[in-house]
Amino acid sequence: MAEQRWLPVIAAVFVTSLVVSNIVAVKLISVGPFFLPAAILIFPVSYIFGDILTEVYGYAQARRVIWIGFGCNLMAVFIFWLSIELPPAPFWRTGAFESAAASQQAYQAIFGATPRILAASFLAYLVGEFLNSFVLAKMKITTRGRHLWMRTIGSTVVGQLADSGVFIFLAFYGTVPLDALAKMAGAQWLMKSAYEALATPLTYLAVTFLKRAERQDFYDRETNFNPLRWRE
């Protein structure tokens, strides 16, 4: 009988990587010839753990965790917004800023986000994560559980392509030339997919350990893949 003792841990890492990536994404970093959001450092971890969730526990469990992550992200955004709207203490100073007003502007620049960016981020997350989980579950049946590397990399290529394309297009269309949009989306997609490929040995170790510890190796042969469904 499946014990699922490690499921809360996997879910916690998944949600944490998602929320943290949205916080650090405000900074752009230079990676060789590419300029990318700092979220590139942590966001692909959510796909790696999404793969682990689907591979070990099945699509239905991954679906729940994806929606839990979405809810936690909404809560974080609400708290950020509320903390920005509340007036700062008159004596508050942060960093090199010498007044409460300047500190408030700096705080808002980091934790504030336009509705368009938020909507693009939320939709891209849902589309990408559900595609990633769906493709991996279907490939597992097709490959009869063999070639894990093919499933993890293949599902990530599809999911990250959708995530990068949806976010870049919805967030920046009309403000950035189309050729630049394509380059931005392509760069993010390549970097995130490469991240997954490099992490494949660690994914193998985690999956092998969890299947033995949980005594579970789920196949989604009769699963309802409706992303809006909560129960199995």
Looking up residue 135, the CATH number of its domain turns out to be: 1.10.1760
Kind plus residue range of the DSSP H or E element containing 37: strand 34-37
* In-domain check, residue 223: no
* In-domain check, residue 146: yes
* In-domain check, residue 62: yes
* In-domain check, residue 189: yes
* In-domain check, residue 222: no
Within 13 A of 35's CA, how many CA atoms are on the CB side?
5
* In-domain check, residue 229: no
* In-domain check, residue 124: yes
Predicted TM-score (pTM) of the model is 0.90
Domain range enclosing 32: 7-214
119: CB partners within 8 A, 6+ apart? 170
Please give the Cα distance from 136 to 230 (Å, whole number): 19
17: CB partners within 8 A, 6+ apart? 42, 43, 45, 46, 49
Q: What is the pLDDT of residues 8-55, one digit of tens each?
A: 999 999 999 988 888 887 787 887 777 777 888 888 888 899 999 999
Query: Which burial class, exposed, middle or buried, applies to 92 when counting CB atoms under 10 A from its CB (0-12, 13-18, 19+)?
Result: middle
Q: What is the pLDDT of residues 154-202, one digit of tens each?
A: 999 999 999 989 988 888 888 878 888 888 888 888 888 888 889 999 9
Domain count of the chain?
1
* In-domain check, residue 135: yes
Determine contact, residues 83/112, Cβ cutoff 8 Å. no
∠ CA 62-113-34, rounded to 5°: 75
Sign of CA dihedral 127, 129, 135, 137: negative
Answer yes or no: is pLDDT of 82 > 60. Answer: yes
Radius of gyration of the chain (CA): 19
Please give the Cα distance from 60 to 223 (Å, whole number): 7
